Amino acid sequence: MPLRHGKAERSIQELYRDDPERGDALAFGRRGALKGAALAAMGATLGAAIPFARSMPEGTLPALFARPAAAQGASGSAAPQTLQMPGKGPLILQGERPLNAETPEHLLDEPVTSYANFFIRNNGGVPDAAADPRAWKIRVDGEVNTPLELTLGELESRFPVVTRQLQMECGGNGRAFFQPQARGNQWGNGAISCAEWTGVRLRDVLQAAGLKDSARFTGHFGADPHLSGDPNRAAISRGMRIQKALDEDTLIVFRMNGQPIPQVHGAPARLLVPGWPGSLSQKWFTRITLSAEPHRGQGMGGTSYRVPTTPIVPGSNNNGASFHDLESMPVRAILSSIAHGTRLPAGTRSLDLRGAAWAGDLTVRAVDVSVDYGATWVAMNVAAPANRHAWQRWTGRVALPSDGYFEIWYRGTDSEGRMQPHAPPNWNPQGYGGNPISRAAILVG
Ligand SMILES: Nc1nc2c(c(=O)[nH]1)N[C@H]1C(S)=C(S)[C@@H](COP(=O)(O)O)O[C@H]1N2
Ligand SMILES: [Mo]
């Protein structure tokens, strides 16, 4: 049920939206604590008392205002448009041309992501289905001893076939959290998936072609048309360091969850490069070329999939000349058992929580949850991944002292001790690597 608030108190919310600094100053006053009339106004605006107002931080928008309540229609924000596509769940439509859709976090509750709940990210059009998938050809050329052209049928019979659960996350996941706004689809936390993929190791195929010493980078090509219709332009064509191409979990896949790959996800074959920006996982995969220098395709260089090596002024222009490629994705936790913007019955005094967490090539050491704005944290139970590069599921319980407005803050820590930060780090024009601590607003009573 959507949260509601009285008309008279709209002003704080509107102020927060139009001029967050002024809204904050008004709410918190000069003392930096929410009390008196401001506390009452804030409570009325949020639709409930705020039991932990004492530790509510100044300078941080209440989650209810800060975060679009994806598909839950929490107060204030216009309901986002929903994808209408056979077999797909109610994903958040980010754009129709190219077609992009984000999975609301609470639909990522399955340990293995189904087709229905798998996000969609296209840079160009979706090509027509191949008439004969087994005859689909993939070329390997460039710095190899023997350039290859293999059909999907040959690939499957010539190399060991493996099945793995692998996370695939868009490099721009979390972009919406950047301030000032970064360019591109405003993904929340939902451009992530962890499906079960079947295919062959890219490594085995590259070794069959024979890598020259000069083969230090890959370049990937797919069959999707550029939106302009120009056949000489690629919708996207990215590449990576050879080390990642040789990782045992980097695959050419042809089945997703035991079925032929659905068309929108790259049928009949795609790359699956887990833990690194999803843009490397070329769909409708037709060719990989090896070279001595970094690949120069669409989506390489400049500010594309690149982050500042030395931080830049947020909002400033930069050509990305001193940026470097985003590789292993940073740690992130999602909450899938309860949706942001949910209202719970009065008297609810504990919450059983569930979600997932991942950290690129690393694993997740801890997921912690706070319901008092970070004053205290509760450790969740984090399961081992099904295999390397699968996400990790977590569960746990938190106590609530009373009815009221709460924020569930959830934060992952990777195996090297790095935690999700309070604000998205290292602002960059296209908004990559934004993994702040997440906040879900809930209302009890
Ligand atoms: N051929 C092709 N491959 C592509 C893309 C694309 O536009 N064309 N998008 C990439 C990006 S940016 C991401 S995040 C993933 C998304 O895969 P999905 O649509 O199956 O979720 O595919 C990648 N592979
Ligand atoms: Mo992406």
Does the residue 388 lie in any domain?
Answer: no
Looking at the CA of residue 299, tell me the nearest atom of ligand 1: 12
In terms of Cα–Cα distance, which of 408, 405, 393 is closest to 439? 408
Residue that finishes a domain, picked among 325, 356, 377? 325
Which residue among 108, 167, 279, 304 has the greatest number of ligand 1 atoms within 8 angstroms of its CB, and so is best to mutate? 279
Measure 426 CA to ligand 1 centroid, in angstroms.
24
Measure 121 CA to ligand 2 centroid, in angstroms.
6
pLDDT at 41: 81
Ligand nearest to the CA of 273: 1
Does the residue 438 lie in any domain?
Answer: no
Residue 263 belongs to what domain range?
120-325
Nearest CA to ligand 1 atom 16: 121
Same-domain status, 146 and 239: yes
Q: What is the 3-state secondary structure (H, E, C) of 185-210?
A: CCCCCCCEEEEEEEEEEHHHHHHHHC
Spell out the per-residue pLDDT of the chain, length 445, in tens: 333 344 444 566 777 777 777 777 777 766 666 778 878 888 888 889 999 998 988 877 889 887 765 433 334 445 679 999 999 999 999 999 999 999 999 999 999 999 999 999 999 999 999 999 999 999 999 999 999 999 999 999 999 999 999 999 999 999 999 999 999 999 999 999 999 999 999 999 999 999 999 999 999 999 999 999 999 999 999 999 999 999 999 999 999 999 999 999 999 999 999 999 999 999 999 999 999 999 999 999 999 999 999 999 999 999 999 999 999 999 999 999 999 999 999 999 999 999 999 999 999 999 999 999 999 999 999 999 999 999 999 999 999 999 999 999 999 999 999 999 999 999 999 999 999 999 999 999 9
**Residues in the chain, how many?**
445
Same-domain status, 190 and 289: yes
The edge-to-edge listing of strands for the beta sheet with 392-399 is 332-335, 350-358, 392-399, 381-382
Residue with tokens 């087709």: 115
Residue that finishes a domain, picked among 325, 347, 367? 325
Region class of 400: left (phi > 0), else alpha (psi between -120 and 50), else beta = beta
Which residue among 107, 236, 253 has the greatest number of ligand 1 atoms within 8 angstroms of its CB, and so is best to mutate? 236
List, in order, residues 6 or more apart from 10 with CB less than 8 Å away: 45
Ligand nearest to the CA of 264: 1
Same-domain status, 300 and 230: yes
> Which residues have CB under 6 Å of ligand 1?
118-124, 170, 222, 224, 235-236, 265-266, 278-279, 281-284
Same-domain status, 264 and 133: yes
Taking CA atoms, 419 is separated from 163, 208, 353, 442, in Å, by: 30, 40, 19, 24
- Kindly report the CATH number assigned to the domain that includes residue 295: 3.90.420.10
Residue with tokens 């590449």: 239
Does the residue 281 lie in any domain?
Answer: yes
- Tally of CA atoms within 13 A in the half-sphere of 69 that contains its CB: 25
Task: Round to whole Å and give the CA distance between 253 and 285.
Answer: 10
pLDDT at 267: 98
pLDDT at 5: 42
Q: Please give the structure tokens belonging to residue 219.
A: 């370049």
Same-domain status, 124 and 53: no
Q: Quick check: 150 and 187 in contact, CB under 8 A?
A: no
What is 315-355 written as a DSSP string?
A: T-----TTEEE--SPPPEEEE-SS-TTEEE-TT--EEEEEE
Does the residue 228 lie in any domain?
Answer: yes
Same-domain status, 51 and 158: no
Does the residue 439 lie in any domain?
Answer: no
Task: Round to whole Å and give the CA distance between 278 and 412.
Answer: 20
Residue with tokens 């024009």: 429
Measure 163 CA to ligand 1 centroid, in angstroms.
20
Does the residue 384 lie in any domain?
Answer: no
Task: Round to whole Å and give the CA distance between 326 and 428.
Answer: 11
Measure 164 CA to ligand 1 centroid, in angstroms.
19
pLDDT at 32: 64
DSSP assignment letter at 54: G
Q: Cα(first)–Cα(last) distance of the chain, in Å?
A: 11
**Would you tell me how many other CB atoms lie within 10 Å of the CB of residue 59?**
11
What is the greatest pairwise CA distance in the chain? 76
Residue type, 392: Q
**Would you tell me how many other CB atoms lie within 10 Å of the CB of residue 320?**
18
Could you check whether the bond before residue 314 is cis, i.e. omega within 30 degrees of 0? no
Residue that finishes a domain, picked among 303, 325, 347? 325
Same-domain status, 155 and 18: no
Looking at the CA of residue 172, tell me the nearest atom of ligand 1: 14
Same-domain status, 270 and 128: yes
Same-domain status, 208 and 125: yes
Region class of 207: left (phi > 0), else alpha (psi between -120 and 50), else beta = alpha
Which residue(s) pair with 408 in the sheet?
Answer: 440
Task: Round to whole Å and give the CA distance between 60 and 57.
Answer: 6
Ligand nearest to the CA of 169: 1
Looking at the CA of residue 169, tell me the nearest atom of ligand 1: 14
Same-domain status, 138 and 55: no
Does the residue 235 lie in any domain?
Answer: yes
pLDDT at 14: 76
Same-domain status, 57 and 184: no
Nearest CA to ligand 1 atom 21: 120
Q: Quick check: 282 and 219 in contact, CB under 8 A?
A: no
DSSP assignment letter at 135: G
Same-domain status, 149 and 291: yes
Ligand nearest to the CA of 192: 1
Q: Please give the structure tokens belonging to residue 175.
A: 């972009």
Does the residue 188 lie in any domain?
Answer: yes
Number of domains in the chain: 2
Task: Round to whole Å and give the CA distance between 13 and 347.
Answer: 27
